[in-house]
A and B are shown apart, each in its own frame.
Chain A
Amino acid sequence: MSVFIAALTVFILAVFVGYHVVWNVTPALHTPLMSVTNAISGVIVVGAIIAAAPEEFQLASLFGLVAVTLASVNVFGGFVVTQRMLNKFKKRR
């Protein structure tokens, strides 16, 4: 139980951090905000790697590899499209 409570503590504090950081995002950049959160949601790749990791190849390894592939689309696609968008935001000459 104490493990769960420790995780819950981290979770709730992170929600507050997210709340404050996101309210500070300028509305003009709400679309890049979405695409960059798309990219970092690909951090689930960490969990996917662990499923694919055990030495003996099994059903879970296959699930893990599929999840690694899916999450990698997010990570790379999300970061690249965010950078592409941000490069377009220029000031008046």
Chain B
Amino acid sequence: MTYQDFSLLAYLAASVLFIFGLKGLSSPETARRGNVYAICGMALAVLATLAAPDVHHHGWILGAIVVGGSIGVGVALRIQMTALPQLVAMLHSLVGLAAVFVAKGAFYAPAAYGIAAPEGGIYTSSLIEMLLGDAIGAITFSGSLVAFAKLQGLMGSAPVRFKGQHALNALLGLTIVALGVGFAASQAGLPFWLMTAVALVLGVTLIIPIGGADMPVIVSMLNSYSGWAAAGIGFTLNNNLLIITGALIGASGAILSYIMCRAMNRSFLSVLFGGFGSGDAAAPSAAAQAQQRGANIGSVEDAAFLLKQAENVVIVPGYGMAVAQAQHAVREMMERLGAENVNVRFAVHPVAGRMPGHMNVLLADANVPYDQVFEMDDINNDFPNTDVAFVIGANDVTNPAAKDPNSPIFGMPILEVERAQTVLFLKRSLGSGYAGVDNDLFYRSNTMMLLGDAKETTESLVRALKGAH
């Protein structure tokens, strides 16, 4: 068996291990083993590549792996679970940048990749594949950096919009194509580098008009891009492992984007062209109006009494809970109520966090068992049998206005808390949420508002539950 055959088989095995890794995620029971499969696949792929007879400078390469690996491990061990979206955005940007560097490497050393044409220069097909990998990589890199900055609060989460924005993006796109054609025809470095530069600008202009509320879609979309960039590089290098892995990731990101769009009842295009998520939610006029409309504002003691009398309680957490760091207090409340034989469950909306599945990780981080956490579709029918729906830090995802054809959020799937006996709404103010739509739920007769900081209020609720013996 030649080295060539050996490496092809090793790459095939690695691809299969990656697929098993993703397959493991179908249940929390098998997920950890799946992750180990994926790690084995990666180790196999790297070792098979390093074993190639024409690979030199092993010391340098291992050094680079150690440097990059230590940074990765250091960050991964320290990151707070609330900051996961930022970490993921940052990792997307690194893949994008790595794709750009590999494309440039292939351009300057075509012989190493076996893409040098015998008559000199590089095969045109390889050039085109190289261009695609490079351009998608550059867009992924700069776009993810903008997403990172928005998530980290380094720049405002409000959409940045200006006149002629779409025309500018179209122009940048056409420039990329023109430079690409120029590069494929001339094989010169200049148009290649210019194309990369324009793609970097396009990544920024594509992401800045997107508001904070749409971030889960964007993070998923960039996930998808990072996959397509890897696949593009795989075509250049004619490497099946990169092609398969890139296709898996591209499909994964695309599906997640679709799920997030569906959960917000937004079309993918309307997200891309900007809109929701001005960031500054609580409008004072709404609060004043709310007072007039007479919301039923309760005390912590009232709430504790209601919860203790209940048989079934469903907690609906939103991102506001995580912002207030209230998840541990909420878990304490859950345990307290569990001790009183109250059946407590959690109901999670698909866009409850800042990225797909984020809320589930935050709850797991607070030691909430995953079999007490339910997806929207699995629990919505249970609200009529629920005594108390406890909404904490969520707003739009419970807003019955989604059923009103005249509302801007019409059609968005919601957690139907209004069908519960009593709704306890824990909130800082009576302001509207990200979508800027007033929540009629606050003024219904079966709703009790608990106004205040999510963490402090929940903590005093726990004290009230303990003291009420």
Contacts and interface: CB of A to CB of B under 8 A. Distances in A.
A72 B251 CA distance: 23
Interface in A40-93: 40-55, 57-61, 63-93
Contacts, number: 373
Contacts of A76: 68-70, 72-73, 76
Given A11-B243, A81-B87, A84-B77, A51 B109 contact: yes
Given A27-B356, A44-B98, A63-B102, A87 B248 contact: no
A86 B379 CA distance: 23
B426 interface: no
Contact of A32 (B104, B107, B357): B357
Interface string A7-30: 100111011011101111111111
Interface residues of A, number: 83
Interface stretch (B220-228, B398-406, B430-438): B220-228
Contact of B46 (A19, A49, A73, A83): A49
B5 interface: no
Contacts of B76: 76-78, 80-81, 84
A38 B92 contact: yes
B108 A58 contact: yes
A8 to B, nearest CB: 8
Contact of A28 (B92, B243, B370): B370
Contacts of A75: 42, 68-69, 72
Nearest to A17: B19
A54 B54 contact: yes
Given A32-B31, A41-B95, A47-B233, A26 B25 contact: yes
Interface in B57-105: 57, 60-61, 64-73, 75-77, 79, 81, 84, 87-88, 91-92, 94-95, 97-99, 101-102, 104-105
Interface in B198-222: 219-220
With a 10 A CB-CB cut-off, give which of A11, A47, A81 has the most chain B CB atoms. Answer: A47
A39 B101 CA distance: 18
A55 B53 CA distance: 11
A35 B244 CA distance: 18
B239 A30 contact: no
A70 to B, nearest CB: 4
Contact of A81 (B79, B102, B353, B357): B79
Contact of A38 (B15, B91, B242, B247): B91
Given A40-B21, A71-B98, A92-B372, A11 B252 contact: no
Nearest to B107: A60
Contacts of B42: 39-40, 42-43, 75, 79
B98 A48 contact: yes
Contact of B247 (A15, A30, A31, A42): A15
A87 B364 CA distance: 9
With a 10 A CB-CB cut-off, give which of B27, B56, B361 has the most chain A CB atoms. Answer: B361
Contacts of B79: 81
Interface string B98-138: 11011011111101110000000000010000000000000
Given A35-B88, A81-B76, A65 B69 contact: no
A47 B73 contact: no
A71 B68 contact: yes
Contacts of A83: 32, 35
Contacts of A80: 72-73, 76-77
Contacts of B84: 31, 35, 81, 85
Contacts of B421: none
A60 B108 contact: yes
B49 interface: yes
A88 B67 CA distance: 28
Given A17-B248, A49-B49, A30 B102 contact: no
B244 A63 contact: no
Given A43-B241, A52-B57, A14 B248 contact: yes
Contacts of A12: 247
B464 to A, nearest CB: 25
B251 A36 contact: no
B180 interface: no
Contact of A78 (B72, B81, B256): B72
16 contacts: A10-B244, A26-B25, A31-B358, A33-B357, A38-B92, A43-B230, A46-B242, A50-B55, A54-B54, A60-B104, A63-B101, A66-B64, A75-B42, A77-B91, A84-B76, A89-B370
* CB-based closest 4 A-B pairs: A72-B68, A51-B105, A30-B357, A77-B72
Given A34-B223, A51-B101, A68-B68, 8 more contacts: A28-B348, A28-B373, A37-B253, A43-B18, A46-B45, A58-B108, A64-B101, A83-B32
